[in-house]
Amino acid sequence: MLNQILDLEVKGDAIVLDHALAKELGEWGGKLKGYFDGQHLIIVPAGTPVDPRHAFISQYANISGGEPVIMGTRVTVRAIVEYERLYHSPAQILRALPHLTPEQIADALGYYADHPVEIDAYIAENETAYTAGTQSA
């Protein structure tokens, strides 16, 4: 479902989904959220909100082991923080991840500012896994 254009049908006050899409949506938690990116209405799986101060950050049991991600994507807050450390610029992050919005990048960095211990633990875990993988190769 990620990064796909969907044809949805509205009947009354409900959106009608085909069986396959409904099944996949169920795997993502069963709820949708929408936001306007300035040009398009973006509807994404809602996931589980992790902090009410950060509307674009969610968790999904089936994505990145439940790490906080940008809602409706597989982009982890950890990845945004690591890009920020690499590029030192939200504009550069947007060049690397052009499907995201400036608001999503800012929200991910804001989430990190509010939850550094949690995200730093994911970064350390990722570095350990990477090191173990390169040593066994």
Q: Please write the tens of the pLDDT for every residue from 23-79.
A: 766 666 667 777 666 676 777 776 777 899 998 999 888 788 889 999 888 899 999
In total, how many domains does the chain have? 1
Q: Tell me what the mean pLDDT of segment 119-134 comes to.
A: 90
DSSP character for 115?
A: -
Residue 104 included in any domain: yes
What's the CATH code of the domain at 26? 1.10.10.10
pLDDT at 133: 80
Q: Tell me the DSSP string of 37-89.
A: -SSSEEEEE--EE--TT-TTEEE-TTSGGG--EETTSS-BHHHHHHHHHHHS-
Look at residue 2 and tell me whether its pLDDT is greater than 80: no
Residue 114, domain extent: 9-136
Contact 116, 64 (CB under 8 A): no
Residue 125 included in any domain: yes
Residue 117 included in any domain: yes
In this structure, the number of other CB atoms found within 10 A of the CB of residue 90 comes to 17
pTM value? 0.73
Short-list 54, 76, 84, CA closest to 125: 76
Binned at pLDDT 50, 70 and 90, residue 83 comes out as very high
Residue 3 included in any domain: no
pLDDT at 25: 67
Q: Tell me what the mean pLDDT of segment 129-136 comes to.
A: 81
Residue 93 included in any domain: yes
pLDDT at 9: 73
Residue 2 included in any domain: no
Q: pLDDT over 90 for what percent of the chain? A: 44
